[in-house]
Structure formats: structure tokens, C-alpha cells
Amino acid sequence: MPRLLCAGLMASLLIPVAALAEAGDGSSKALRAEASALRQAAQVEFDASKAECQKAFRVNYCIEQAVELRVAKVNRARTLEAEATKLELTAKRRAVEAREAEQAEADRQREANRPAEEAAARDAVRAREAAAAESQSRREHDAGAAAQRAREATVARQKGQAADAGRRAENEAAAATRADQAAKDRQAYDERREKYRAKEAERAAEAQAKAEKQARIDARRAAKAAAAAGKPPRAHKKRDEAAPAPAPSNQPGG
């Protein structure tokens, strides 16, 4: 039995590593998994062989054969691990080469696009400068228009104030004229009233003088008549008391 087992294990060692790689998925993970399985199987088979060798006639020889087979499997596992390492290194190298190729292609493309990008950047700068100039011109125009509106508003306000001042001056002049005319009218009225009162006083004085003169005349006549009749003259009241007072006439303005 140990001889058959050893023969089977030796036959398995004759399988090339490349064939094992082709049998798997060709990746380093598969190789490492297979190497780990080989190590575990080598240990399990070695333990089984040792147990079988205890039944054999030449125990030590059997164990030596089992050890050789275990070492062979371990070595094969190491070979698979080395192959996995080679695959990993190859994959890393290819990845680096791919990145370098991509970087080189990007650099080449960037160099190829540089003139267009620089032209686009210049166009963008010119566009920004044009936009800034237009914005500045618009702000200056708006500021000028605002200043013009402010000046027009100031002129309009000043004109309005001047017109208001003119109207106030005209109103004040008219009021002063009316007040002056009213004062003149009052003065004229007072003068006419004084003249009227003076004339009335003069008329009253003339009427009084006439009444007194008439009373004296009447007294003399009465005295003459009494003397002619041989009778003493009858006492007469003063003419001014008997004479009626002249009727007052209407005064101007009451």
C-alpha cells in the first residue's frame, strides 16, 4: 500500500507547473490557492503514510519515502508560489507600463492640445477683458446718466424754488399794494369824515348865529311894538331856546 501511494505521489510531481497554471484560471490567486492545497495535502498524506509505514516490513525506508514525497510536494507548492509571484510581478509591471503608456499618451495629447488650449485661454482672456471694458463703459454711462438726471433735477428744483419765490414776492407785493390801498382808502375816508364833520359844525354854527340874530331882531321888534302900544314888552324866551335845532344830515360812512 505505501508503495502504491508513493508511486501516485511521484507521478503527480511529473505534471509541469505550466500545465497546472493552464488548468487553473491562470491567476496568481489560483496558483497560491493550489500551493496551499498542496502543502495541506502533503502534510495529510505524510501523516497517513507514517501510519501505514508502521505496518510495513521496512518501516524506516517507508517513512523516508513518505518524507521525500512530502518534500517533493512542498517544493512543488513553492514552485507554484514562485510562479504566482512571477505572475504578480508581471501583472504589476504591466500595470506600471500601462500607466506609463497612459501618462505618455496623456502627455502627448496634452502637448498636441496645448496650442488649442493656449488659443482658447487667450480668447477667454480677451473675452473677459472685453466684458470688463463693456461693464466699465456701462457703469460710466450709467453714472453719467445719473449725474445728468441729478443736474436736471437740481435745475428743475431751482426753477421751482425760483417760481415759488416769484409767486411769493408777487403775492407779498399784491398784499402790500392792497394794504397800502386800504390805508389810503382809510385815510381818505377819515379825511372826508373830518371834512364832513367840519362842514356840519360850520352849518350848525351858522344856524346858531342866524337863530341868535333872528332872536335879537324879534326882540327888538317886540320892544318896538310894545313901546308903540304903550305896554311894557312881554318877556320872550331866548330865540335860541325856542328855535328848533337843525335836523342832522347823514354823515358819510356812518
Instruction: Give the model confidence (pLDDT) of 109-146 as tens digits.
Output: 999 998 998 999 999 999 999 999 999 999 999 999 99
> CA 157, CA 74: separation in Å to the nearest integer?
110
- Report percent pLDDT > 70 for the chain: 80
> CA 168, CA 210: separation in Å to the nearest integer?
61
Least confident of 4-18, 45-59, 200-214: 4-18
pLDDT of residue 6: 44
Give the mean pLDDT of 36-41: 90
DSSP for 151-176 reads HHHHHHHHHHHHHHHHHHHHHHHHHH
Greatest Cα-to-Cα distance within the chain, rounded to the nearest angstrom: 233
* Exposed/middle/buried for residue 185 (C-beta within 10 Å: 0-12, 13-18, 19+): exposed
Whether residue 8 is predicted with pLDDT greater than 70 in this model: the reply is no
User: Taking the model in full, what pTM does it have?
Assistant: 0.35
The mean pLDDT value of the chain amounts to 82
DSSP helix/strand/coil, 38: helix
90-97 long-range contacts, CB within 8 A, separation 24+: 91/28
